[in-house]
Amino acid sequence: MHILGINAYHGNASAALVSDGRLVAAVEEERFNRVKYAAGFPAAAIRYCLDAGGITLADVDHISIPRNPWARLGTKLWYAMRMPRFARERAKVLARFAGIAEALSEAFEIDPKQIRAPLHRVEHHQAHLASAFFVSPFEQAAVLSADGLGDFASTMWAAGQGNRMHVAGSIAFPHSLGMYYTGVTQYLGFRKFGDEYKVMGLAAYGQPAYLDEFRRIVRTNGGIGFRLGLEYFTHHRTGPEMTWRDAGKTPELGPMCSGEMARRLGPARDSSAPVEQKHRDAAASLQARLEEVLFGMLRGLHARTGQKSLCLAGGVAFNCVANGKIFDQTPFEQIFVQPAAGDAGLAIGAAYFVYHQILGRPRQFVMEHSYWGPQYSREKVRAAVDSSRLRDAGMEIAELPEEELIAVAAREIAAGKILGWFQGRAEWGPRALGNRSIVADPRRADMKDTLNARIKHREMFRPFAPSVLAEATPEYFEKSFPSPFMTQAYAVRPEKREAIPAPTHVDGTGRLQTVTREANPRYWKLIREFGNLTGVPLVLNTSFNDNEPIVCRPEEAIDCFLRTKMDALALGDILVRKPSGATPEVRR
């Protein structure tokens, strides 16, 4: 039985194919159309998923989308009367959803009658919950979804048991932890879609000096819920302005904060103005209040469900700083966050919701790795190298047996070189986890500056992350619960901070990826070899890109390699090196 999940006409458009309960493929549209967080209709992602499963659209048994126009209809209508412009925008989006079968038949040039699969509409947050629980290793768990807004809710929690979830509560618009974080992110001068994680990085440089004020911005009363101090916001009056129907454009958000934020906290920071201590302190206060509210909700959820295990989904689940503290701040003993915890993950959630919750099929799948995206054959990689400018640019190119490839690559990293590492299937979700990664020496204090100057060109306050051999986690970190998808930040042991300064954040934490031999044998061997050479079984890992979606095809990897100042590139078995002593060509 083939189920196609589609997150369309929403940020992070994506598709996933689940066949007989097992995930076959999952990918974001942005990897194909090269538009970050692309919305619109994910035709290329769907095409890839069908190809990976060796099927056509006519073979699909169920199609599922994470949007249910009937959910919270009363609330929607009430706000539609108060905000007619917003209502008109939503109506246009819903009209597109109504035409999803037509969009499919048009994209795949088949007669709509050939699409025999029924279309299921799964409420946004139920799809988020399903995306976490049904692929988790837990037979039973508490499940929480928290984000900006979906089907007019921001938060939902449930108890998961076997192949069923029972929703226990939810929080409706306009109260939203995601909008709280986004609103303050905008106030701090970071206005692009997806900038929240920058502010999370900035928070470590400040003190929560404004925490009392932030307790008025998000209010709690001891239960699982919370409410926003609406005087600080505008979205409940104007509707959240989100422009994300065009697949060729990164979504945009309208302003969310009212003048009250500036009156209480001082003027909003202009995007081009320098970041000052008051901004760092506001970011720290924002993060501290998010953590207080989230941990309060989780303690309430634990008390209500009595579960030891927790699954998290929604954009808030990307807050790795908060996630890393869950073990200390709540009674939960195990957590699971799948790598595409945000809206891309809705595609798998919608598909698994149908398989388990609607069809009642038993569970048989655990997401043990994130490699559900495209891969390219040896021949395709060779062809990409042959048709590139690599040889003309004087690169040394050699196809090597694995052992040699790993030995040379590890030596390069240990010598301070920056290595592009392109292997196997692309990662699902926003983190590069050893198949589309840039890898560097974590022992060099200047490596962060070097990477930023030569390749990544991002804000200096943003940390880089470590990939550590799973078995060495307790030696380097104060917690060792697996973090295979970089969804938790743990404190680096104080005695190890000097050993790995480059991926250790200013607050002494690292957003680690724990790497097992089973999940990614080749990456594990690379890190082990680096450990053999240096005594440090850990590398710095950042995504293979330069202010663009993570590279997907070998051509994009080669282009990024040539465009930036990377030193070496492993493309499958092919190792490309700039000739020793040569000044790398830079084309920007």
Give 221-288 as a DSSP string. Answer: -SSS--EE-GGGBSHHHH---EE---TTS--EE---B-HHHHHHH-SPPPTTSPP-HHHHHHHHHHHH
What's the rounded Cα separation, in Å, for the pair 535 and 537?
Answer: 6
Residue nearest to Fe ion (CB): 147
Binding piece for Fe ion, criterion CB under 5 A, among 145-153, 160-168, 219-227, 456-464: 145-153
Task: Look up residue 139 and give its DSSP letter.
Answer: S
CB of 150 to Fe ion, least distance (A): 4
Single residue of 28, 147, 195, 441 touching Fe ion by CB under 5 A: 147
- Per CB under 5 A, 240 contacts Fe ion: no
Near Fe ion in 341-360, by CB under 5 A: 343
CB of 43 to Fe ion, least distance (A): 21
Q: Which is nearer to Fe ion, 15 or 265 (CB)?
A: 15
The strand pairing partners of 575, in sequence order, are 398, 570
Give the H or E element holding residue 398.
strand 396-399
Task: Answer yes or no: are the C-beta atoms of 354 and 329 closer than 8 Å.
Answer: no
Contacts of 433 (CB under 8 A, 6+ apart): 339, 369, 370, 371, 427, 467, 484, 485, 486, 513, 520, 523, 541
Binding piece for Fe ion, criterion CB under 5 A, among 144-152, 269-277, 289-297, 330-338: 144-152
Burial class from Cβ neighbours inside 10 Å (0-12, 13-18, 19+) for residue 462 reads middle
Binding piece for Fe ion, criterion CB under 5 A, among 147-155, 323-331, 484-492, 540-548: 147-155
Binding piece for Fe ion, criterion CB under 5 A, among 50-58, 223-231, 340-348, 363-371: 340-348
Interface with Fe ion (CB under 5 A), residue total 3
Q: Which is nearer to Fe ion, 124 or 289 (CB)?
A: 124
CB of 314 to Fe ion, least distance (A): 5
CB of 155 to Fe ion, least distance (A): 10
CB of 351 to Fe ion, least distance (A): 16
Give the H or E element holding residue 101.
helix 100-107
Contacts of 588 (CB under 8 A, 6+ apart): 563
Binding piece for Fe ion, criterion CB under 5 A, among 102-110, 277-285, 338-346, 427-435: 338-346
CB of 244 to Fe ion, least distance (A): 12
Q: Which is nearer to Fe ion, 202 or 317 (CB)?
A: 317
Q: Which is nearer to Fe ion, 352 or 544 (CB)?
A: 352
- Per CB under 5 A, 196 contacts Fe ion: no
What's the rounded Cα separation, in Å, for the pair 445 and 462?
Answer: 15
Task: Answer yes or no: are the C-beta atoms of 191 and 241 closer than 8 Å.
Answer: no
Q: Which is nearer to Fe ion, 292 or 343 (CB)?
A: 343
Single residue of 5, 11, 150, 554 touching Fe ion by CB under 5 A: 150
CB of 66 to Fe ion, least distance (A): 8
Query: Maximum CA pair distance of the chain?
Result: 68
- Phi, then psi, of 104 in degrees rounded to 5: -65, -45
CB of 10 to Fe ion, least distance (A): 8
Interface residues with Fe ion (CB under 5 A)? Answer: 147, 150, 343
